[in-house]
Structure 1
Amino acid sequence: MYEYKFIKIELKGIIELKPEQDYHEIVHEHARDGWRLVQVLTPPTGPSGAATYFELIFEKLV
């Protein structure tokens, strides 16, 4: 059986949207704890045509 974890990364900025958190470090931290990155989900775009966040989806065998 697998356990799943979802981490939302907000994107901020006016001209260029950038992640609020260092997603590279988040992936490395979770890998050290036995989690595996399985997908990066980008939601439908907002009114400006750009996504306002993305989600990292991890799984771990329990």
Structure 2
Amino acid sequence: MITYEYKFVRLGEGRGSAIFGVRARKVKAYQSVVEEHAQQGWRLVQVFAPGMAIYGAAKYYELIFERERGAADTAP
């Protein structure tokens, strides 16, 4: 039976994000986070943006990754 493990990475949370939302440069940083985790065998399954700041902006983004258990042993 295949089992999976999950990892949650929060981006953009910080001072002012609760009011004004996540800053653009922090949002762009997600690409390098995804690439880094992919090299370790993780697969991006969802981007979650809970809570809203003013103007409808997300307070932060949470990236959800998964991989098969034991994949860390075979990752480069």
TM tier relative to shorter chain: 0.7 to 0.9
Which of the two has higher C-alpha Rg? Answer: 2
Whose helix fraction is larger, Structure 1's or Structure 2's?
A: 2
| TM-score w.r.t. length of structure 1 | 0.79
Segments of structure 2 that go 5 or more residues without pairing to the other structure are 70-76
Q: Which runs of 5+ in 1 are unaligned?
A: none
Structure with a larger share of its residues in strand: 1
Q: 1:38 aligns to what SS in structure 2?
A: strand
Task: Report how far residue 21 of structure 1 moved.
Answer: 6.7
Q: Distance in 2 between matches of 1:20 and 1:39?
A: 15
Name segments (4+ residues, structure 1) moved above 2 Å.
none
RMSD in angstroms over aligned alpha carbons? 2.2
Aligned residue type for 1:60: R
TM-aligned CA distance change 1:26 to 1:4, over 3 Å: same
* 1:5 has 2:31 as partner: no
Partners of 2:28 and 2:50 in 1: how far apart? Answer: 18
What is the alpha-carbon distance in structure 1 between the residues aligned to residue 58 and residue 45 of structure 2?
20
